[in-house]
Amino acid sequence: MGMFSEGGVTYSAGIDLHASNNPFVELLKMVGSGKRVLEVGPGSGHVTKQLTLQGCTVTCVEKDKTMAEMAKSFCDQMIVGDIESDTIRRQFPTERFDVVTFGDVLEHLRDPVEVLTRVKPLIAPTGYLVASIPNVAHRSLRLSLLFGEFDYGDMGLLDRTHLRFFTIRTIEKMMDESGFQIVDMVRIRDASLMDTILRRTASWGKRALLEVVKVFFRGLIRGEALTYQFVIKAIPIPTVCPR
């Protein structure tokens, strides 16, 4: 999407704050203004820049050195490294943040539950987490699977750097296991039926059959299948110490 980079690849683009159905805009709204923000995976810093304009104090963690160099002018502190490493986590022995953001990052992690669990103590008592997460149950992927297609690309739902895939149920499960409660959610919708890769690679026969199947899919696959990404706000669940 643009808030995360991997191997020099970034999705970043300018942010139109008046745009509707936009994950960048919804994430920025959930963060708010004047907050102490830990932004994980800022990419080249388009969201970082806007957070600073909103009066936020931003600390970034970015593992791609090229992207970190591009984004560092927009934040108060840039830490170059992997959020999954112990070295990075030890950078914050006493600091607490009002908001921690994961803009299209969790799907790139080997163990997102572990990362979220270890990030939780960095959040201030009244703070929260904001994350944007792609929906693998979007109907374009359901239709692709019907044709036996699951081809990775440079971006999108099947970005080749994705290590994890999420539906609304697995997002809720991940948050619960990490000790967070989702308190707000925005669905970024996309009514497309055909994955762009399938559109390019399908044979003429497959495309003809696809047109027939699309008629049925358009009416049958709705609900969460129209959601391309989820943008969530989650608060830490207090740990109850045994007496």
CATH topology of domain 5-136+159-191+226-236: Rossmann fold (3.40.50)
The confidence score (pLDDT) of residue 7 equals: 39
Q: Is the pLDDT of residue 12 over 50?
A: no
Contact by Cβ (8 Å): 162, 11: no
- CA 135 distance to own-chain centroid: 10
The confidence score (pLDDT) of residue 226 equals: 87
pLDDT digits (tens, 9 = 90+) for 151-165: 787 888 888 889 999
- Read off the pTM: 0.84
Block residue for tokens 């810093």: 45
The confidence score (pLDDT) of residue 230 equals: 96
Each domain of the chain, given as residue ranges in start order, spans 5-136+159-191+226-236
pLDDT digits (tens, 9 = 90+) for 27-57: 999 999 999 999 999 999 999 999 999 999 9
Q: How confident is the model at residue 148 (pLDDT cuts 50, 70, 90)?
A: confident
pLDDT digits (tens, 9 = 90+) for 219-230: 556 678 889 999
pLDDT digits (tens, 9 = 90+) for 86-108: 777 788 878 899 999 999 999 99
* Rounded percentage of the chain residues whose pLDDT exceeds 90: 58
The confidence score (pLDDT) of residue 35 equals: 98
Closest by CA to 147, choosing from 199, 222, 189, 221, is 199
Q: What is the mean pLDDT of the chain?
A: 85
> What CA–CA distance (Å, rounded) separates 103 from 29?
13
In this structure, of 18-32, 42-56, 190-204, the range with the lowest mean pLDDT score is 190-204
Q: Is the pLDDT of residue 194 over 70?
A: no
Percent helix, strand and coil across the chain, each to the nearest 5: 35, 25, 40
The confidence score (pLDDT) of residue 11 equals: 46
Closest by CA to 97, choosing from 142, 134, 133, 127, is 127
> What CA–CA distance (Å, rounded) separates 49 from 55?
10
Mean pLDDT of 119-127: 95
Q: How confident is the model at residue 198 (pLDDT cuts 50, 70, 90)?
A: low
Q: Is the pLDDT of residue 127 over 70?
A: yes
